[in-house]
Amino acid sequence: MIILFPVATYLLGTVSESNDLIWLALDTGYYYPVYVIATPLFEKLEMGLLIPSIGGRCLALALYPLLLFLFFHIKDKILPNR
């Protein structure tokens, strides 16, 4: 689901263009943690909305699954029988 979220917001923005600002705001929420790490990979619009470059999208695509894997790996080390 983490990887499919940007695809879903893009498709919803295409299907329902009248709500495009809502889908862009959700997309900004998805990319904001990556924006904090790598600011030059994003273009900032008015109202704080972000447009990621290809590099920003690739970084998010690599970073979120890695963080999810690390979370479960650390959780299994701390709580091995649960």
Mean pLDDT of 36-58: 91
| Domain housing 54 | 5-78
**Distance (Å, whole) CA 34 – CA 62:** 11
Please tell me the total count of domains within the chain.
1
pLDDT class of 45 with cuts at 50, 70, 90: confident
| Buried residues in 23-35 as b, exposed as e (16+ CB within 10 A) | bbbebbebbeebb
- Whether the CB-CB separation of 48 and 28 falls below 8 Å is answered with yes
- Whether the CB-CB separation of 59 and 38 falls below 8 Å is answered with yes
- Whether the CB-CB separation of 47 and 68 falls below 8 Å is answered with no
Tell me the whole-structure pTM to 2 decimals: 0.81
pLDDT class of 2 with cuts at 50, 70, 90: confident
